[in-house]
């Protein structure tokens, strides 16, 4: 009865002498610039990205990959796990989006049981969604610090089993389109927007060369957590090795080599193994916090989350999602394309990264001090006050022409970098 009285009291009009009760705003999505309420990125690490089925992580369970990055992020900044308000893990292929796997990883990392963990599946942007969920909890005042992660083992769990679906899906075009294979959606985008094979191969070449240059000059070394694993070869022999290099990068890629590849998804198509991302295994984790809490703990601030947007697009053209989400994220943050220095396009197919007339520019690196936020969970950026838009998925980073009429962009987080 007392409880009812209190609740109904909240509904009564306020008397003129009563003070206005100020509730903490849950925020619409953007951080409040220049205040201690901002959501900031403290630190991030990732594993190397392994080639699924044939690579170094082919026999490694995802909880091990996840545990490696969860522990490394906290160890690097000296934060006890008990300080975390929540942990969110993005995952697509594990049963139940990997809820059990994530809790196992949590304990393998030595995190206490009092820290909660949950998982989220938003397909290819699940890692980014984990980041947005943690950011949302910080904004709402539920937590002060949280860990956002992403993990996938495409070696141990393949795409393919759609689960239990109604037979009525065949009567509904959009529902049926949800079963269109990812490679065919790339073909659809290429056909619909006139993206030639040559454009896709040119983009793939520049992406490979930039990635190789970055790898050779050690630019990924700081962000990659070395993971020691056992791998069983075809003869059944097991060996131990430490994995610290991405396996999808082919430094010897040439335009001739790319143009000789057969279409991978349909005989007369233009999407090939060379202009697609590979199927991969890997994990990443990013520590986020409210600026005021981060400053009290003396933790570093790498970047500020300025805004984010998620959009729905036709399932058979899923690759156009970023082109719709980025303007929405810009609107939310009150920015324009001209304000953006670096676009990190993380999509599976070159057809999604280019459009007619796009010029792919050189890769711009941050300073040596910069620790990039791992792509499986978030987006990096170069130091300075300018903004960085990041997407999701597994392709290499690109810096694109900033002319809005010529640029096709990706989804869905907007950061400004501080250090």
Ligand X SMILES: CC(=O)SCCNC(=O)CCNC(=O)[C@H](O)C(C)(C)COP(=O)(O)OP(=O)(O)OC[C@H]1O[C@@H](n2cnc3c(N)ncnc32)[C@H](O)[C@@H]1OP(=O)(O)O
The residues binding ligand X (CB under 6 A) are: 124, 182-183, 208, 250, 253, 257-258, 261, 264, 273-274, 276-279, 347-348, 393
**Beta carbon nearer to ligand X, 79 or 279:** 279
- Residue 363 C-beta: closest distance to ligand X, Å: 17
- Residue 13 C-beta: closest distance to ligand X, Å: 51
What is the rounded CA–CA span in Å between residue 357 and residue 360? 10
Minimal CA–CA distance to 145: which of 68, 52, 40? 40
Minimal CA–CA distance to 352: which of 393, 385, 388? 393
φ, ψ for residue 145 (rounded to 5)?
A: -135, 140
Q: Which residues contact 297 (CB under 8 A, 6 or more apart)?
A: 79, 83, 289
What is the rounded CA–CA span in Å between residue 328 and residue 123? 20
- Residue 87 C-beta: closest distance to ligand X, Å: 24
**Beta carbon nearer to ligand X, 304 or 413:** 413
- Residue 347 C-beta: closest distance to ligand X, Å: 5
**Beta carbon nearer to ligand X, 366 or 374:** 374
**Beta carbon nearer to ligand X, 30 or 275:** 275
Q: Secondary structure of 221-264 in the HEC alphabet?
A: CCCECCEEEEEECCCCCEEEEEECCCCCCCCCCCHHHHHCCCEC
- Residue 253 C-beta: closest distance to ligand X, Å: 4
- Residue 132 C-beta: closest distance to ligand X, Å: 16
Per-position DSSP letters for 29-57, written without gaps between them: SS--TTSTT-EEEEEEEE---EETTTSTT
**Beta carbon nearer to ligand X, 209 or 301:** 209
**Beta carbon nearer to ligand X, 53 or 244:** 53
**Beta carbon nearer to ligand X, 29 or 55:** 55
What is the rounded CA–CA span in Å between residue 334 and residue 340? 12
Output DSSP code: residue 307: E
- Residue 64 C-beta: closest distance to ligand X, Å: 22
């Amino acid at each position: 009865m007392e409880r009812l009285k209190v609740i109904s009291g909240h509904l009564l009009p306020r008397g003129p002498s009563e003070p206005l009760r100020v509730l903490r705003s849950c925020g619409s999505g953007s951080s409040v610039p220049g205040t201690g309420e901002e959501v900031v990125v403290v630190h991030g690490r990732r594993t190397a990205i392994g080639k699924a089925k044939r690579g170094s992580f082919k026999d490694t369970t995802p909880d091990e990959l996840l545990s490696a990055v969860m522990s490394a992020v906290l160890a690097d900044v000296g934060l006890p796990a008990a300080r975390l308000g929540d942990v969110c893990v993005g995952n697509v292929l594990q049963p139940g989006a990997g809820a059990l796997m994530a809790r196992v990883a949590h304990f393998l990392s030595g995190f206490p049981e009092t820290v909660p963990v949950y998982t989220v599946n938003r397909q290819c942007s699940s890692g980014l969604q984990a980041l947005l969920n943690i950011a949302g909890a910080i904004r709402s005042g539920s937590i002060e610090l949280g860990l956002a992660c992403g993990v996938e083992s495409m070696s141990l769990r393949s795409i393919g089993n759609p689960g239990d679906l109604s037979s009525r899906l065949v009567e509904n075009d959009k529902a049926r389109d949800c079963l269109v294979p990812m490679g065919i959606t790339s073909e659809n985008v290429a056909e619909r927007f006139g993206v030639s094979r040559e454009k896709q191969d040119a983009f793939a070449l520049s992406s490979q060369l930039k990635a190789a240059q970055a790898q050779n000059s050690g630019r990924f070394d700081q962000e990659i957590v070395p993971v020691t694993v056992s791998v069983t070869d075809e003869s059944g022999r097991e060996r131990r090795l430490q994995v610290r290099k991405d396996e999808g990068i082919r430094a010897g890629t040439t335009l001739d080599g790319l143009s000789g590849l057969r279409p991978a998804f349909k005989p007369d198509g233009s999407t090939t193994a060379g202009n697609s991302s590979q199927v991969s295994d890997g994990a990443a984790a990013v520590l986020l916090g409210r600026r005021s809490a981060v400053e009290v703990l003396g933790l570093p601030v790498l970047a500020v989350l300025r805004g984010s947007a998620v959009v729905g697009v036709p399932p058979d053209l899923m690759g156009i999602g970023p082109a719709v989400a980025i303007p929405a994220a810009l609107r939310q943050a009150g920015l324009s394309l001209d304000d953006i220095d670096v676009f990190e396009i993380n999509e599976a197919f070159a057809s999604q990264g280019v459009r007619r007339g796009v010029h792919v520019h050189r890769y711009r690196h941050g300073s040596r001090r910069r620790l990039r936020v791992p792509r499986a969970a978030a987006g990096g950026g170069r130091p300075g006050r300018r903004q960085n838009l990041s997407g999701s998925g597994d392709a290499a980073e690109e810096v694109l022409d900033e002319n809005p009429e010529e640029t096709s962009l990706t989804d869905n987080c907007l950061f400004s970098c501080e250090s």
